Amino acid sequence: MKTATQNAAVAFDDIGMTFPDGTEALRNVTLSISKGEFVTIVGPSGCGKSTLLRIASGLLEPTAGTVEVDRQRLGYVFQDATLLPWRTVRQNIELLAELHGIDAAERHSLSEAAIELVGLVGFENHYPKSLSGGMKMRTSLARTLTLKPPLFLFDEPFGAVDEITREHLNDETQLLFKSEGFAGLFITHSISEAVFMSTSVLVMSSRPGRLVERFEVPFSYPRNPDIRFEPDFALLSGEISKALRGSHS
């Protein structure tokens, strides 16, 4: 059983989660993600997607099954940007490195690189209150990038920004995935976002959350934003949508 998951950045084995109030959030979830894989889970809201991420990160203990993951340098991008309002963009980006005890000089060079990577040059000394939603999210991404995590967990990070910004961020995320080569686990309820960025898309049913279908996305990286309008893209999105509806009823 373990041999299959040895190279995985994260491996869930038959995870089940029942909350103390009796709600069964997850059942029989088995999934492993390796370096170079970007897996997206789509599902209706409240189906337990976020619970799976909390389990992966260790914020939550599953009530059944085991999860294997190196939590030393975990990248976790939250639903909200979760920036500290009293810190500037740069200070926010350096926070995680600070918590990991990295010295000031190295912190600076790490943040410098991350700022460049997400296109925040010129905004280093801004406070979060003067940033747009998209820029806050970029800061949050940059903060995670400083740790160079082998595994990125994304908890519906672009749900709160507008459509245009979301597409830009999707584009930037897949470019980051291409250049940094991490293993990604992305949670969303947007099918187009899922197909655009991922190597595979998994459909999760609701109550209890189970992985019901897996789709491989054949497009190569880096992906052109225009593939969203190609027939293959639409076809795949349609199939996923159908699977999603099937799981929901």
Which spans of this chain sit near another protein (rule: CB under 8 A)? 57-59, 71, 74, 76, 78-80, 82, 84-87, 95-96, 98-100, 119, 121-123, 127-132, 134-135, 161-162, 164-165, 168, 172
The b-or-e profile of 95-109 (16+ CB within 10 A means b, else e) is bbbeeeebeeeebee
Shortest distance, position 26 Cβ to another protein, whole Å = 19
Shortest distance, position 65 Cβ to another protein, whole Å = 21
Residue 53 or 202: the one with the smaller Cβ distance to another protein is 53
- Contact of 37 with 199, CB cutoff 8 Å: yes
- 3-state helix, strand, coil split of the chain in percent (to 5) is 40, 25, 35
Shortest distance, position 143 Cβ to another protein, whole Å = 9
Residue 57 or 111: the one with the smaller Cβ distance to another protein is 57
Residue 100 phi, psi (nearest 5): -90, 5
Q: Which residue has the tokens 């970007």?
A: 38
Residue 78 or 219: the one with the smaller Cβ distance to another protein is 78
Residue 3 or 224: the one with the smaller Cβ distance to another protein is 224
Cα(85)–Cα(46) distance, integer angstroms: 29
Shortest distance, position 106 Cβ to another protein, whole Å = 16
Per the DSSP assignment, residues forming a β-bridge with 17 are: 26
